[in-house]
């Protein structure tokens, strides 16, 4: 059996096993591949990468807090992930272990699915971690006209803007999340790339407390997908904004990882149905 893993800490909340195993079954690959979560301490990263290099493990998804910390053990990181320094997918070529990020692709496919055009769009990204980096680079590569990165820790937002400006000629600024209000009237698109709103301790939290009804032409996307309707999306709907939940991106980034490992086209609709069915029943037990 070819083993595919999701490594991180914690991993119990993840929808990936439900989604990937449904896809493998529909692709008639479930007798050849298995996908499971593995919660590991940081000291276990080197061993996992070694197991991939010798083919004992076929590939892995990487989640928090290891998306950046795993880089030191990889042979090579593909573009654009090497620019923003965060990977979510690992695979083998010969004895080389390669990292890439399918989050950027997943994000762009989700926008296209929702009919959102992003060239010449002013976007406010909340967060400056791995997901925010993948989203910011995807937008910069797609000619978004302006990015504003707001974060709880302003130094991390400043670092992200500096990295973006190093690679792209883009208008980008950063600030503290607490100062969000002054930006709302200047933007077309707002994306939450923090865990605020996620099932568990953050469930009834929103990264911003309110959106005025004067901002009703704003599109608001939440990368959080469990629950599907987050507090932020509730606030956005009440203000009359268009909303996009985190499921499309989840499904497309997962499909892209599976395509890399198997070389076959995954059934995106099957993956989406599996995620939606699981969420209707409350999602994975944490």
List residues near ligand NAP by CB under 6 A. Answer: 64, 67, 103, 106, 127-132, 151-153, 156, 193-196, 198, 223-225, 246, 249-250, 253
Annotated catalytic residue within 2, 25, 67, 242: 67
Cα separation, 193 vs 153, whole angstroms: 14
| Residue 67 is among the residues annotated as catalytic for this protein | yes
Q: How far is CA 47 from CA 7, 53, 77, in A?
A: 12, 10, 18
Per DSSP, the chain holds a count of helices (H) and strands (E) of: 9, 12
Whether the CA torsion 256, 257, 258, 264 is positive or negative: it is positive
Least distance between ligand NAP and beta carbon 214 (Å): 25
Q: Please calculate the CA angle 250-252-257 and round it to the nearest 5 degrees.
A: 95
Least distance between ligand NAP and beta carbon 184 (Å): 17
**Residue 121 or residue 271: which is nearer to ligand NAP going by CB?**
271
**Residue 24 or residue 132: which is nearer to ligand NAP going by CB?**
132
Least distance between ligand NAP and beta carbon 177 (Å): 6
Q: Kindly state the helix (H) or strand (E) to which residue 199 belongs, with its residue range.
A: none
Look at strands 171-176 and 146-151 and give their pairing: parallel
**Facing residues of 123 across strands?**
147, 189
Burial of 55: CB neighbours in 10 Å, binned 0-12, 13-18, 19+: exposed
**Residue 250 or residue 279: which is nearer to ligand NAP going by CB?**
250
**Residue 49 or residue 157: which is nearer to ligand NAP going by CB?**
157
Got the DSSP string for 58-118? -EEEE-TT-TTGGGGG-SEE-TTHHHHT--SEEEEETTEEEEE-SHHHHHHHHHHHTT---
**Residue 42 or residue 216: which is nearer to ligand NAP going by CB?**
42
Least distance between ligand NAP and beta carbon 129 (Å): 2
| Chain residue at closest Cβ approach to ligand NAP | 129
Cα separation, 146 vs 157, whole angstroms: 15
Least distance between ligand NAP and beta carbon 131 (Å): 3
User: Residue 74: which region, alpha, beta or left (left: phi > 0; alpha: psi -120 to 50)?
Assistant: beta
Catalytic residues: 67
């Amino acid at each position: 059996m070819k083993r595919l893993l999701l490594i991180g800490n914690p991993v119990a909340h993840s929808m990936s096993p439900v989604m990937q195993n449904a896809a493998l079954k529909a692709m008639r690959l479930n007798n050849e591949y298995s996908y499971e979560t593995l919660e590991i301490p940081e000291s276990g990263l080197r061993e996992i990468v070694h197991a991939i290099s010798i083919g004992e493990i076929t590939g892995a998804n990487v989640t928090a807090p290891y998306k950046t910390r795993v880089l030191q053990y990889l042979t090579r990181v593909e573009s654009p992930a090497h620019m923003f320094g965060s990977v979510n997918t690992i695979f083998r070529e010969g004895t080389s272990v390669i990292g890439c990020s399918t989050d950027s692709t997943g994000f762009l496919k989700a926008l296209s699915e929702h009919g959102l055009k992003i060239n010449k769009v002013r976007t406010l990204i909340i967060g400056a971690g791995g997901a925010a980096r993948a989203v910011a680079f995807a937008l910069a590569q797609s000619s978004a006209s302006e990015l504003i990165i707001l974060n709880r820790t302003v130094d991390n937002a400043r670092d992200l803007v500096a990295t973006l400006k190093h690679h792209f000629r883009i208008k980008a600024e950063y600030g503290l999340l607490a100062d969000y209000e002054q930006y709302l009237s200047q933007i077309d698109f707002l994306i939450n790339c923090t865990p605020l709103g996620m099932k568990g301790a953050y469930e009834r939290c929103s990264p911003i407390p309110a959106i005025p009804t004067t901002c009703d032409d704003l599109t608001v996307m939440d990368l959080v997908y469990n629950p599907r309707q987050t507090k932020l999306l509730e606030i956005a709907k009440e203000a009359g904004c268009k909303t996009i939940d985190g499921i499309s991106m989840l499904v497309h980034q997962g499909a892209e990882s599976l395509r890399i490992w198997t070389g076959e086209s995954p059934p995106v609709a099957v993956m989406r149905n599996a995620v939606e069915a699981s969420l209707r029943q409350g999602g994975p037990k944490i």
